[in-house]
Amino acid sequence: MLSIKYHKIFDYKLVKSDFPKWFYKIDSKDISKISKTKSKTRLQREKYSLSKLKLAKKAAKILAKIPTIKFVGITGSLAMMNSNKDSDIDLMIITKTGTMWTTRLLVHCLLFTVHYPLRRPNIKKQKDMLCINLWLDENDLIWNKADRNIYTAHEIAQVVPLVNKNQTYEKFLWENKWILDFWPNAIDRELLAISNKPLEKPLIATGYSLITSIVEKIAFKLQYFYMRKKITRETITPTKALFHPQDWGKVVLEKLNK
């Protein structure tokens, strides 16, 4: 029943074809009660999601040209094809070691140049805007143990890769294989087979020029200075930026406990 209850929180009614991927703890009696057909709400949201998916793919194609970007993926409601008409487009980016904040500046400048709207804090209008709320350095992909829960595991498992250089997506899954404790069938086993041993660790900052290292430090300090007064519970470090002001993991767990 937990699988059904979890997805109901997001107004996502499971159908039989969703199993066994989103199997958690559900017995055969529960499965027999699940409809084979999708609800009208879900079908409508899939239509909205298709148009947003086209925009996400176009944006990812542009971002792939930046050499320091190793991965671009869809997260949030769009990753589940469950977007509303006015939803934004959530993206996650993984960068080469020691270039995350420099890359973030390049991304914002590039998207501004090609007129792709980026969602900004405290702006109500969000329809079709790109919201890049997850930034990871390829050398810091593991989620903190304190933040590992059923919600975070689902969010990681549902990520849809659009740009994947040098098996970065596979490495990301390998580093966070703890999600199988919550959703044991949510990851393609072939992907895990590719990553059944740790991939080669990326070079530490010594592999980059001194100038690159200095530029990265300046980029981090400038951006941190700009956003420091707005930070609530976001994670901001030299190698990771998680822009999630609301603790959705806590919200979901409270609703499940009820």
Q: How many C-alpha atoms does 29 have within 13 Å on its Cβ side?
A: 1
* DSSP assignment letter at 118: B
Cβ atoms of 59 and 114 within 8 Å: the answer is no
Tokens of 243: 């822009």
The pLDDT assigned to 227 comes to: 85
Of the candidates 138, 147, 139, the one whose C-alpha atom is nearest the C-alpha of residue 92 is 138
Task: Report pLDDT for 28.
Answer: 58
Report pLDDT for 119: 84
Q: Using CA of residue 136, residue 141, residue 147, residue 152, what is the dihedral sign?
A: positive
Q: By the 8 A CB rule, do 129 and 118 touch?
A: yes
- In the prediction, which pLDDT does 30 show? 65
Q: Phi/psi at 95 (nearest 5 deg)? A: -115, 165
Whole-number Å distance between alpha carbons of 102 and 38: 43
Residues contacting residue 243 through CB under 8 Å, at least 6 positions apart: 133, 134, 234
Sheet containing strand 89-95, strands side by side: 160-164, 69-74, 89-95, 130-137, 240-242, 235-237
pLDDT at 183: 94
* pLDDT tens for the 258 residues of the chain, in order: 788 889 999 999 999 899 889 987 655 566 677 888 899 999 999 999 999 999 999 999 999 999 999 999 999 999 999 999 999 999 999 999 999 999 999 999 999 999 898 887 667 788 999 999 999 999 999 999 989 999 999 999 999 999 999 999 999 999 999 999 999 999 887 777 666 555 455 444 445 578 888 999 999 999 988 888 777 778 899 999 998 767 788 888 888 887
**Residues forming beta bridges with residue 101, ordered by sequence position:** none
Residue 27 identity (one-letter amino acid): D
pLDDT score for 20: 85
Reported as a single tens digit per residue, the pLDDT across 20-59 is: 899 876 555 666 778 888 999 999 999 999 999 999 999 9
Q: Supply 86's token pair.
A: 């006015």
> How far is 159 from 154, CA to CA, in rounded Å?
9
Q: For the chain, what's the residue count?
A: 258
